[in-house]
Chain A
Amino acid sequence: MLRGNSACPGCQANLALRHVLRACGADTILILTPGCSAACQGIYPDTCINVPVLNTAFAAGASTAIGVAASTDSNVVVYAGDGATADIGLASLSFALEYNTDFLYICYDNEAYGNTGAQRSGTTPYGARTTTTPGGKRQHKKDIDSIVCAHQIPYMATAAAAYPDDLYRKVKKALSYKGSKFIHVLTPCPTLWGFPQEKSAYIGKLAIKTGAWVLYEKDSGKISISLWSKNILDKYLPLEDYLKAQSRFSGISDKDILELKRNMNESVKRLVQE
């Protein structure tokens, strides 16, 4: 990734992309769906990305990759947001994974439709306010990782832009496998989530430290919790620290916090048991 792009200050989606591309190297074809990462690549004829980039339609990230992957031995990488992955593009992603297409699909998750200005997506967490859930979302975050894992692909991992070394290692590892690989990256967004730009990395780390996001990988069917999450499994910081730092959770009721915690604990328990 070259210097200069039109991302907002403190954007973790572009930060994550920089580390993804660093891990992928020059022999890579990148596929972008509409969203922040597509908007940030630059205006024709300029670009901030120094590998071939194919822009495609919102629902078509994975299906476009099927055609690209069939036509090259280079790394084929889709970099798509949570809306493009867990909502509109889910059917095409499901087929691409079921077919075990030889590609790496990276979902950068800012937990809302970011480029259209913060509307709810399937991965918006319970209680979070968006412009289409002004009173807070009443449904839990869609468990896209379990959906992905149900396709029995060789490699799946979660990552966070705030832990670039972990992300870098996972991308490298993913690319060492043939077949479908999926990495789900948490990319906090100052604009959508409502925190100061300079706190971007802090919020990203807080997500892991409070257990709101767990770093793990599922390698050939076997789950292992990644170092940064593993070390703190039984000593999470209070979730309230994470919620209070973001205006999207302002006004969340104690009851809703309890519900959010209950759901989070269940997810972590399930992961640890597996």
Chain B
Amino acid sequence: MKLIATGNEAVAYAVLDASPDFIAAYPITPQTTIVEALAKFKESGKLKATYIPVESEHSALSACIGAGSMGKRTFTATSSQGLLYMAEMLHWASNARLPIVMANVNRALAPGWNLWADLSDSLSQRDAGWLQLYVSTVQEAYDTILMAYRISEDPNVLLPVMVNLEGFVLSHSAQPLETLEGCYLEPLDLPHRLDTGTPHTLGNVASPNDYFKLRRDAENAARKSAKVTRKAEKELFELTGRAYRPVMEYRCDDADVIIAAMGVFAREAEAACDILRDKGVKVGVARVRQFRPFPEFDFDGRLIVIDRDYSYGCGGILAQEIRARTGKPVYSVIAGLGGQDMTYKDFVKIVIESREEGERWWGID
């Protein structure tokens, strides 16, 4: 089906096509239109899942953990404060090895109250054990939700996946969308699901040795997920012709300067890249789509990393990851926090004014 849809609508269509058994969610701007769309699908009979509008995000994820432990396919969505309110259960979901899929609509954290795009919410949860993917278009939001189920439910993975899209700039922006007809996912077969026929206990007291082993298993699964993600990308490419990679490269082959960024920001940087190329500056854009596990990041050019997020005392979070991965000097730019408008003109200026190494809070420093 071809249509014009917003990022949030694309997420809802993908959930519909993933045919989950159970959805629990709580509204929060700018995620709300996802749960509203799902409620409409449910009301019209299109969506077969049990849909429960619970009283908080903590309960939304807890309910998904309950249904997930019964071997059911689940979905929830949140944003910002809601994601942080879930924090305890985020770790629970990954440590319980449950393949839950969640859409997080990236929004700034209070105070002061701010509803606009900022990746600090999900990036502050980067160690919660969820695989994290960041999308940049409406179509990619749709495709990635479906791929997320494929990845999380793989018997070698069994970890939850968070699909991130920026608030308003993507969640409420309309673009063309092509949906698949019907669900291409195989039924979920959770090996440790609860069953009254063969009673067992999930999550009881674990001695240090057993605890340690369980964590190592989860770590191995997170590492293996990269390979499974490549398989899911290949499968989707064969189905649709749309190609996704952990790092999406734009004119990177002969680039002297690489701009690294995530989400919509990186697409804006592509426009800047074209302008700079016309001026003779060989720029490329590396859009990090897969943040956890952090992918290979191997480029020859000088690195400019643009973060719409921060870790106080440590700077941009993507910059930290890329520094750690490459061991190379990085020019780190923190920009667009709380939805500060950034156009391709800003990105052109960033490149022109950049140095070999350093940090700059754009528009302030």
Contact with B along A49-67 (1 / 0, CB 8 A): 1111111110110111111
A72 an interface residue at 8 Å Cβ cutoff? yes
Question: B34-42, B101-109, B202-210: which lies at the A interface?
Answer: B202-210
CB distance from B102 to the nearest CB of A (A): 14
B67/A71 in contact, CB under 8 A: yes
Known contacts: A57-B62, A57-B92. The answer to whether A66 contacts B24 by CB under 8 A is yes
Question: B51-59, B136-144, B152-160, B327-335: which lies at the A interface?
Answer: B51-59
Contact of B202 among A27, A54, A99 (CB under 8 A): A54
B89/A27 in contact, CB under 8 A: no
Complex Cα–Cα for A27 and B22 (A): 22
- Secondary structure of the A contact surface, majority rule: mixed
Instruction: Please report the total number of B residues contacting A with Cβ < 8 Å.
Output: 39
B67/A44 in contact, CB under 8 A: no
A52/B204 in contact, CB under 8 A: no
Known contacts: A68-B69, A70-B52, A95-B59. The answer to whether A57 contacts B88 by CB under 8 A is yes
Contact of A44 among B63, B70, B196, B206 (CB under 8 A): B206
B25 an interface residue at 8 Å Cβ cutoff? no
Known contacts: A64-B66, A67-B70, A74-B196. The answer to whether A92 contacts B204 by CB under 8 A is no
Contact of B194 among A26, A29, A57, A95 (CB under 8 A): A29
Q: Which of B53-84 contact A (CB under 8 A)?
A: 54-56, 58-60, 62-72, 74
B55/A95 in contact, CB under 8 A: yes
B210/A60 in contact, CB under 8 A: no
A91 an interface residue at 8 Å Cβ cutoff? yes
Contact of B199 among A44, A51, A94, A99 (CB under 8 A): A51
Q: Which residues of B contact A31 (CB under 8 A)?
A: 66
CB distance from A34 to the nearest CB of B (A): 10
A38 an interface residue at 8 Å Cβ cutoff? yes
A147 an interface residue at 8 Å Cβ cutoff? no
CB nearest to B198 among chain A residues:
A52
B200 an interface residue at 8 Å Cβ cutoff? yes
CB distance from B67 to the nearest CB of A (A): 3
B58/A60 in contact, CB under 8 A: yes
Contact with B along A15-31 (1 / 0, CB 8 A): 00000000000111101
B201/A52 in contact, CB under 8 A: yes
Known contacts: A49-B201, A52-B200, A92-B62. The answer to whether A72 contacts B70 by CB under 8 A is yes
CB nearest to B195 among chain A residues:
A52
**Chain A residues in the interface with B (C-beta under 8 A):** 26-29, 31, 38-39, 41-45, 47, 49-57, 59-60, 62-72, 74, 91-92, 94-95, 99
4 other contacts beyond A41-B205, A56-B203, A64-B69, with CB at 8 A cut-off? A63-B63, A68-B69, A70-B63, A92-B56
